[in-house]
C-alpha cells in the first residue's frame, strides 16, 4: 500500500526571520505559476524565486502576463539586489537565477545544467545554502528531473519541500522524480499550494486574501 503523503493541515510554521520560496516548473508551468501566484497576498512575508524552463524570446512575456494576474510584484531579477518580501523574481532570459553568498540575486551565464538554463537545481541549491531551514522548495509540473537535487538540498538543511501531485500536473515528471528520491516532504494538488505557502509563513489566509 502506498503511504499517504501528509496533508496540508500537518504543515509546520516556519520560524520568523529570513525566509524564501523557490518554485520550479517546466511543461505546463506558466498556468501552474498563475494558479499559485494569483492566490498569494500582496503582503506575502517572503520573496519568491521562480524558475520556468521556457523557449528563447518568451521569458519577458511570461513575466508581463503574470504581473497582470497577481497582487504580488512580478519582475525580472536584477543582479546584486537583495530579494524583498512580497516580490516575485524570474531569471533574466537565458540565465540561471540564484542567491549568491551575500544573499543577493544573481543572474549567471554559467554552463547549462541538466540540459537547462535556467536550472531549477542551481536556483534551489542556492536557497538551501543561503537560507537553510528558512527555504521552501516547490516543484511543479514538468518533464525530466531538473529540481530534484535542489529539493534534496533544501530537505537536507531542514527546509520545507512541496511537490505538485500527479492528478493536477500536466506532466508528472519532475514532481514524480522528487517524490521517488524522497526529496518532497509534502505532495499537494496545485490549488492547495498557495494556501499552504501562506500557512507556512504563519499568515492568516483570510486576512491575506483581502
Count CB neighbours of 121 within 10 A.
24
Choosing from 116, 126, 130, 146, which is the catalytic residue? 146
Helix (H, G, I), strand (E, B) or coil at 192: helix
The reply to whether 146 belongs to the active site is yes
The reply to whether 130 belongs to the active site is no
Choosing from 26, 119, 126, 169, which is the catalytic residue? 26
Choosing from 53, 96, 116, 130, which is the catalytic residue? 53
Residue 68 class from Cβ within 10 Å (0-12 exposed, 13-18 middle, 19+ buried)? Answer: exposed
d(CA 16, CA 7): 23
Element (H, E) at 164: strand 160-164
Distances (CA, A) of 179 to 7, 27, 139, 174: 15, 18, 10, 9
What phi, psi does 140 have (nearest 5°)? -105, -175
The reply to whether 100 belongs to the active site is no
Catalytically active residues, by annotation: 26, 53, 146
Amino acid at each position: 500500500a502506498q503511504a499517504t503523503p501528509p496533508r496540508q493541515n500537518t504543515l509546520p510554521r516556519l520560524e520568523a526571520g529570513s525566509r524564501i520560496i523557490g518554485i520550479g516548473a517546466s511543461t505546463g508551468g506558466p498556468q501552474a505559476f498563475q494558479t499559485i501566484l494569483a492566490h498569494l497576498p500582496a503582503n506575502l512575508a517572503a520573496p519568491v524565486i521562480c524558475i520556468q524552463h521556457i523557449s528563447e524570446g518568451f521569458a519577458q512575456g511570461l513575466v508581463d502576463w503574470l504581473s497582470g494576474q497577481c497582487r504580488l510584484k512580478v519582475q525580472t531579477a536584477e543582479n546584486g539586489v537583495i530579494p524583498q518580501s512580497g516580490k516575485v523574481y524570474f531569471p533574466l532570459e537565458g540565465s540561471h537565477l540564484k542567491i549568491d553568498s551575500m544573499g543577493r540575486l544573481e543572474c549567471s551565464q554559467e554552463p547549462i545544467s541538466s540540459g537547462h538554463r535556467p536550472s531549477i537545481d542551481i536556483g534551489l541549491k542556492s536557497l538551501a545554502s543561503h537560507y537553510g531551514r528558512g527555504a521552501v522548495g516547490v516543484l511543479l509540473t514538468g518533464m525530466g528531473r531538473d529540481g530534484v537535487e535542489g529539493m534534496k538540498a533544501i530537505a537536507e538543511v531542514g527546509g520545507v519541500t512541496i511537490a505538485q501531485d500527479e492528478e493536477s500536473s500536466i506532466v508528472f515528471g519532475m514532481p514524480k522524480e522528487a517524490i521517488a528520491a524522497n526529496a518532497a516532504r509534502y505532495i499537494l494538488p496545485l490549488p492547495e499550494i498557495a494556501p499552504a505557502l501562506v500557512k507556512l509563513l504563519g499568515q492568516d489566509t483570510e486576512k491575506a486574501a483581502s
